[in-house]
Amino acid sequence: MLIPSVAKGLRDEVATMLGQLAQNGPDHCKFKEAVRSVAASATMLKELVDNAGSGGKTMNLKAAGKTYGVPVSTLRVWCDRGILPARKVGKLWYVEPAAMDNLFKNRNAGR
């Protein structure tokens, strides 16, 4: 299930953040970066929980690659470049099936 995996990722990021705080202090740039990442992850988790009851669905890139027959590495590049609308939580990208459908519909329309 997606929400527990995102929650685990968030917990891992918090643990990393606390380790960096203990090692480097609160003014260290890696700590500040970790705080921003945890805040973004918490926002994503809240959105996932809020959308869970309303049928909102997302999938990680591995699942999307399997479903749509696209290598994960290609999907990751598309996400990084903004070609594929996605959310990044920690090191993981999450996409909505509708975004994948729209991407392929638009790409095939030009052919």
CATH class for the region spanning 57-111: mainly alpha
pLDDT digits (tens, 9 = 90+) for 60-96: 899 899 989 999 999 999 999 999 998 887 778 889 8
How would residue 35 be classed by pLDDT, with cut points 50, 70 and 90? confident
Q: What is the DSSP letter of 111?
A: -
Among 69, 68, 95, smallest CA distance to 82 is for: 95
pTM: 0.52
SS3 36: helix
